[in-house]
């Protein structure tokens, strides 16, 4: 572990509960290869210890984890360093699989932003606690990429067509929406989050679910905006093709549908095609098969003009005006 990674991932065991803290606050805990390797090593070392739970959390109230460090991946691509990119993605996906198969209950405390790779750290564990400040999303189609970290496994398994909607549009979920979809399992107010580890340590013989329910505040799930739009989500995003999704959204004609249409129109056409096919096939694959398919796709996608341009617009120049290659949903070619 490098000194930097040691500072960016803090880990200890207290009273039978393993605690891993992401500690790269200035970058909103964007994951580097070193951070991924550090978390993986810690979990490997703890795998056969008699722990009652492992808690994953952040030192920052702004973010659990904003995703992978895509700026660095873009730099690898521009430098032609395919090996460095492969090392990052293969390490990250191996960690996703480890969390999914971990013999000890993994409890993620999601306070603030949780996007992309942040969902990879949390969703594959059994327990995902959100606070009122939680914001979850898979925004990859907006940067010329696709929902990875096993998203082609967990998104198609969400109720109805919610997963296709989230994957294509990058829609941001609040705590109520996260609980409604099942991406989150429990709600604990932000001011009670620090007590979770101690509560688990105080009751090592009780099921984690029982301990978390005892800490829970009033669940906001009844306020889910996604629940209110659910019928339209299923109608539009259950369509068999991108063109038909767009057509149904225009037919629905509500403010929600207009927002979804605008999100699709602003996304990378290449990313939409890749994502639609990936999620459609993911329902019949195991998690490890999904991760393998995603890894194969990263090798080509990160070298494409849309990825280089999307990351430039989002995190390098931050002008938010990517100029995509290819055609949009309605068949128009973006202006040169």
- Decide: 309 and 144 in contact? Cβ < 8 Å: yes
> What whole-number distance in Å separates Cα of residue 2 and Cα of residue 207?
36
Q: Among the options 18, 34, 67, 68, which is catalytic?
A: 68
Residue 152 to residues 116, 234, 275, 286, Cα–Cα distance (Å): 12, 18, 8, 10
Is 238 noted as a catalytic residue in this protein? no
- H or E element, residue 307: helix 305-311
Q: What are the residues facing 14 on neighbouring strands?
A: 17
What is the helix, strand, coil percentage profile of the chain, to 5? Answer: 55, 10, 35
**What DSSP assignment string belongs to 189-205?**
-GGGGGGHHHHHHH-TT
Is 68 noted as a catalytic residue in this protein? yes
> What whole-number distance in Å separates Cα of residue 79 and Cα of residue 77?
5
> What whole-number distance in Å separates Cα of residue 30 and Cα of residue 92?
12
Q: H helices of 80-184, where? A: 82-100, 117-122, 151-154, 162-169, 175-181
- H or E element, residue 135: strand 135-137
> What whole-number distance in Å separates Cα of residue 7 and Cα of residue 261?
42
Is 148 noted as a catalytic residue in this protein? yes
Burial class (CB in 10 A: 0-12, 13-18, 19+), 188: buried
Is 140 noted as a catalytic residue in this protein? yes
Q: Which of 157, 295, 289, 176 is nearest to 229 (CA)?
A: 176
> What whole-number distance in Å separates Cα of residue 32 and Cα of residue 65?
11
Q: Among the options 8, 69, 92, 148, which is catalytic?
A: 148
Q: Among the options 8, 92, 111, 140, which is catalytic?
A: 140
Q: Among the options 116, 117, 144, 150, which is catalytic?
A: 117
* Residues with active-site annotation: 68, 117, 140, 148
């Amino acid at each position: 572990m490098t000194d930097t990674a040691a500072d960016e991932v803090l880990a200890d065991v207290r009273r039978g509960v393993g605690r891993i803290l992401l500690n790269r606050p200035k970058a909103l805990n964007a994951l580097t290869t070193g951070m991924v390797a550090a978390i993986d090593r810690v979990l490997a070392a703890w795998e056969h210890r008699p722990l009652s739970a492992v808690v994953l959390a952040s030192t920052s109230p702004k973010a659990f984890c904003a995703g992978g460090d895509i700026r660095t991946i873009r730099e690898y691509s521009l430098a032609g360093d395919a090996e460095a990119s492969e090392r990052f993605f293969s390490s990250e996906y191996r960690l996703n699989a480890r969390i999914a198969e971990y013999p000890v209950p993994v409890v993620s405390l999601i306070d603030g932003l949780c996007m992309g790779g942040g969902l990879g750290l949390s969703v594959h564990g059994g327990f995902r606690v959100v606070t009122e400040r939680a914001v979850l999303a898979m925004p990859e189609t907006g940067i010329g990429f696709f929902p990875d970290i096993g998203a082609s496994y967990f998104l198609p398994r969400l109720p109805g067509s919610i997963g296709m909607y989230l994957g294509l549009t990058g829609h941001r979920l609040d705590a109520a929406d996260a609980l409604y979809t099942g991406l989150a399992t429990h709600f604990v107010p932000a001011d009670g989050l620090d007590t979770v580890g101690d509560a688990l340590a105080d009751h090592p013989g009780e099921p984690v679910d029982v301990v978390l329910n005892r800490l829970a505040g009033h669940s906001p799930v009844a306020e889910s905006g996604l629940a209110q739009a659910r019928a339209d989500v299923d109608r539009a995003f259950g369509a068999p093709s991108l063109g038909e999704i767009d057509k149904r959204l225009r037919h629905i004609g509500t403010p929600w549908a207009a927002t979804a249409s605008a999100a699709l129109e602003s996304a990378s056409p290449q990313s939409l095609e890749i994502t639609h096919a990936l999620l459609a096939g993911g329902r019949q694959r195991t998690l490890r098969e999904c991760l393998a398919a995603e890894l194969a796709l990263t090798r080509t996608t990160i070298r494409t003009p849309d990825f280089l341009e999307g990351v430039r617009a989002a995190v390098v120049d931050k002008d938010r005006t990517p100029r995509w290659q290819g055609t949009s949903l309605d068949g128009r070619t973006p202006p040169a």
